[in-house]
Amino acid sequence: MAKGTQTRERIMDIAEAAILQKGFGATSIEELIAEAEITKSGFFYHFPDKTQLARALMRRYLEREDAVFDELFGRAAELNDDPLHGFLIGLKLFAEMMGDMPEGNPGCLVATYCYNERLFDGDIRQMTADGVLSWRRRFRRHLELIAEKYPPREDVDLDALADMVSGVVEGGIIMSKVLRDPKVVADQIIQFRTYIKLLFQSAR
Q: What's residue 1's pLDDT?
A: 60
Q: What's residue 139's pLDDT?
A: 97
Mean pLDDT of the chain: 92
Q: Where are the domains of the chain?
A: 1-48, 58-203
From the list 151, 87, 113, 83, the residue with the least C-alpha distance to 20 is: 113
The more confident residue out of 3 and 120 is: 120
Q: What's residue 4's pLDDT?
A: 65
| pLDDT confidence bin for 201, thresholds 50/70/90 | confident
Exposed, middle or buried, 55 (CB in 10 Å: 0-12/13-18/19+)? Answer: middle
From the list 97, 201, 74, 81, the residue with the least C-alpha distance to 150 is: 201
pTM value surpassing 0.75: yes
Q: What's residue 204's pLDDT?
A: 46
- Is 60 exceeded by the pLDDT of residue 203? no
| pLDDT confidence bin for 202, thresholds 50/70/90 | low
The pLDDT tens digits for 8-20 are 999 999 999 999 9
Q: Which CATH superfamily is domain 58-203 in?
A: Tetracycline Repressor, domain 2 (1.10.357.10)
Topology at the third CATH level for domain 1-48: Arc Repressor Mutant, subunit A (1.10.10)
The pLDDT tens digits for 44-71 are 999 999 999 999 999 999 999 999 999 9
d(CA 125, CA 137): 18
